[in-house]
Amino acid sequence: MTVSEVKVVTGPLADPTGSTRDDCAVIALKHVTREYAGHGGVVRALGDATFSIVAGEWVAITGPSGSGKSTLVNLIGCLDRPTAGELKIDNVDTASMSATELDRFRADKIGFIFQQFHLIPYLSALENVMLAQYFHSMTDEAEARAALVRVGLGDRVSHVPSELSGGEQQRVCIARALINNPPILLADEPTGNLDAANQKIVAELLQDLHRNGHTIVMVTHDPEMAGLAQRRIALSHGQVFCHPVSGPMVTLRRSTDRL
Ligand SMILES: Nc1ncnc2c1ncn2[C@@H]1O[C@H](COP(=O)(O)OP(=O)(O)O)[C@@H](O)[C@H]1O
Ligand SMILES: [Mg+2]
């Protein structure tokens, strides 16, 4: 995969063509709130969040347990909808879509990487990756195999999860997330269950995917992993309290190559 265009914007509004950070946004939240109705009343899990993430950016989401990280990731991943406010993914307002349209949109735009891997124990690595395609599109063994090669597991396609190390299972999960070549990768504690050696492998893989233009939104408690991101969005009690835009803003346009 090659990066076909690199555009550097020196500040949030400083582009000679007149485009703004919002114009480049692949994820844009305006006054997004998510409340849950519970037995003890209404819980405001995310309150009035306004920020954007530009194409090709790598953002770490941090905050203590219960601060709203999963709520935010579920909203960005189109698994949930805001109670109030506007959420645009790739300039499309997700509120305007039917559930079926949203499923299709999610499959095209977003790859999910989970802490717990969520692999089916009795299926091989190849079948687990092909299962992702079952939900989105026609099952394509060649694409699933290519995705496993892409994450360095070309020689592990027939192994079931119990025959793979934690790091290898996470790489199967990443291969699954790469099916359909989605522009956005959403990772929830991608190295939370890994030892140092496997964390390094997964970190290098994410760096490689970022270099190839994927936008990465990653929840992490690990300062080393957060340090790999270009920006940190910190949450506390459902409030976004830290999302500086620092340094030059680099937007990578991805090639149309698949994997
Ligand atoms: N489905 C739900 N129903 C009711 N309350 C919820 C639900 N999901 C999350 N919450 C509450 O919203 C707050 C934020 O939760 P969450 O986004 O899971 O935080 P984090 O991922 O940072 O641990 C917590 O107080 C949690 O109890
Ligand atoms: Mg969580």
Expressed in percent and rounded to 5, the helix, strand and coil fractions of the chain are: 30, 30, 40
pLDDT, position 16: 45
For residue 65, the ligand 1 atom closest to its alpha carbon is 23
- Place 6 in a pLDDT band, splitting at 50, 70 and 90: very low
Mean pLDDT across the chain: 83
What distance in angstroms lies between residue 211's CA and the mean position of ligand 1's atoms? 33
For residue 67, the ligand 1 atom closest to its alpha carbon is 22
Reported as half-sphere exposure (CB side, CA atoms, 13 A), residue 17 has a value of: 8
Protein residues within 5 Å, CB atom, of ion ligand 2: 69-70
What's the average model confidence in pLDDT over 108-126?
89
Which residue's CA is the closest to the ligand 1 atom numbered 20?
66
- Place 154 in a pLDDT band, splitting at 50, 70 and 90: very high
What's the average model confidence in pLDDT over 7-29?
56
pLDDT, position 193: 87
The yes-or-no verdict on residue 184 having pLDDT over 90 is: yes
Ligand 1 site, CB within 6 A: 36, 38, 43, 45, 63, 65-71
The yes-or-no verdict on residue 219 having pLDDT over 70 is: yes
| DSSP single-letter state for residue 94 | G
Mutual orientation of helices 166-177 and 196-211 as an angle, nearest 10°?
A: 20
How far is residue 211's CA from residue 60's CA, in Å, rounded to a whole number? 16
What distance in angstroms lies between residue 201's CA and the mean position of ligand 2's atoms? 23
- Could you give the domains of the chain? 3-254 (3.40.50.300)
- Contact between 208 and 147 (Cβ < 8 Å): no
What's the average model confidence in pLDDT over 32-39?
92
For residue 238, the ligand 1 atom closest to its alpha carbon is 14
Task: From 61, 71, 233, give the residue whose CB has the most ligand 1 atoms within 8 Å, as the site to mutate.
Answer: 71
| DSSP single-letter state for residue 235 | E
pLDDT, position 180: 85
The yes-or-no verdict on residue 66 having pLDDT over 80 is: yes
How far is residue 236's CA from residue 4's CA, in Å, rounded to a whole number? 38
Strand ranges in the chain using DSSP code E only, listed in sequence order: 3-9, 25-38, 41-54, 58-62, 84-89, 92-93, 110-114, 184-188, 215-219, 231-236, 239-242, 249-254
For residue 71, the ligand 1 atom closest to its alpha carbon is 17
